Amino acid sequence: MFIKYFTMIILTKFTQKPKMKNKAILVSFIALLAIAFVLTTVMASNMVSISEVRVNGIAYDNEGSTIVAGEVSDTVPVEVEFTANRDVEDVRVRVSIEGYKEDVYESTPRFLIVNGSKYVKRFALKLPSGMDLDELTEQLNLNVRITAKDEDDVEEDYAIEMQKDLYSLNILSIDAPNKAVAGNTIALDVVLENNGNSRLDNTYVKASIPELGVERTVYFGDLSPKYSTEYEESYDDIRDTNNKVMYLSLPRNAVPGTYNIQVEAYNYDTSVVAKQKLVVEGVSSGILSASTSRTVSVGEETTFDVVLVNPNDRMVVYSLTPSQSTGLIIDVSEPVVTVAADSSRTVQVKVKATESATEGTHVVTVNVNTESGLERKADFTLNVEKASTSTPIVKTGSDTVLILTVILVIIFVVLLIVLIVLLTKRPAETEEFGETSYY
């Protein structure tokens, strides 16, 4: 309204004295007013006007000549100050650094702005890592974008000069199993990179599982910086990365559960730590029984067979411990047994019913343990009978043998007497007959 009113006054004044010089001035002034009006209209068309952006406490100037320095992987505060040009709903402010291996961005929830009000939105932006940069220094664009539904985006870019650390290690990858059995040995394939600006001498990698007391350290050697092949050639052809396999042996008595594998890469100048989850499982085992029930009399003994099965890919040590049972003597032939991988062994359990054993059914229990603790119980049933039920059978057998022996002796004596009689009996004289003549 002010521009319109002021224009009308100027036009009235100059139309009263129409001179050529005045006309030229009038045309120039009208052109300037038109330009100002257009700029005002354009500015008013945006829902907001960004007044200031600060990164890590440094404000960008209006000429765009400010360049803020940033270090890889740092988290820096970002402030965006703007003024609302009208009432708008569902406004969102987003700051981002895009176009690299990993895009970095932060955003506000949707909110309402009121015409003429100033707003400040704050962010904590994590700058890209050294893996995202190919050079020692690289200029990135911090993009500030304010959006709303049915409104044109308000967007500005600000320069950040990123630079790598002088000394920096990066664990590119850890290739390790997610699960393992207690007592097994696991392999860790570790790739280490020098992503700093200087050569790193005598680098090491230490892998450990602190909860299990397991640790292993491997020498990775010297690593050159990545940014220049010229430097690599001057460093005796050493590389910026190295890859080695490390082995960790899990304890046989490790309790099943989830553990952290901690991998630390270091040298005199720098270090870095990475973690990975590992699930430790107990060993698998199987127990088979050939016979689970037997019957004995008091004073007798019987044998049960326990078959130990090892389906694992390593040797497993079993220990067999019988539970006490009143009136029974239980003896395991091999209390400690080693079973090779993917094989089985049979162990005998001898059970004797003593005089104090009560008649009836008894349960014989053998506890089968591995290195990781109690695995299973082998249960057998023993029926104990009274001694009298089996004694008559034994006596009858003894009497029969005695009777047969007596009969055989008698027969032998009779035959002997007959033989003697036959030998002592004298034979009868034979009658001699002469020759008879009838003449």
Q: Give the predicted TM-score (pTM) of the model.
A: 0.53
pLDDT score at 41: 46
**Of 51-55, 202-206, 263-267, 397-401, where does mean pLDDT reach its minimum?**
397-401
Query: What's the rounded Cα separation, in Å, for the pair 25 and 17?
Result: 13
| pLDDT level of residue 117 (50, 70, 90 thresholds) | very high
Q: What is the mean pLDDT of the chain?
A: 79
pLDDT score at 309: 82
User: Does residue 53 carry a pLDDT above 90?
Assistant: yes
User: Does residue 20 carry a pLDDT above 80?
Assistant: no
3-state secondary structure of 381: strand
pLDDT score at 83: 95
Report long-range pairs for 32-37 (Cβ below 8 Å, ≥24 apart). 33/3, 33/7, 36/3, 37/3
pLDDT score at 374: 58
The answer to whether the beta carbons of residues 218 and 203 sit under 8 Å apart is no
E strand residue ranges, 41-130 = 48-55, 58-59, 68-71, 75-84, 88-97, 104-107, 111-113, 118-126
Query: What's the rounded Cα separation, in Å, for the pair 358 and 354?
Result: 9
- Residue 300, token pair as written in the block: 């007798």
The answer to whether the beta carbons of residues 273 and 169 sit under 8 Å apart is no
Identity of the highest mean pLDDT range in 52-66, 176-190, 375-389: 176-190
pLDDT score at 227: 56
% pLDDT > 90, the chain? 28
Q: Distances from the Cα of 323 to the Cαs of 132, 299, 346, 366, in angstroms?
A: 65, 20, 19, 6
Query: Which of the two residues, 135 and 54, has the higher pLDDT score?
Result: 54
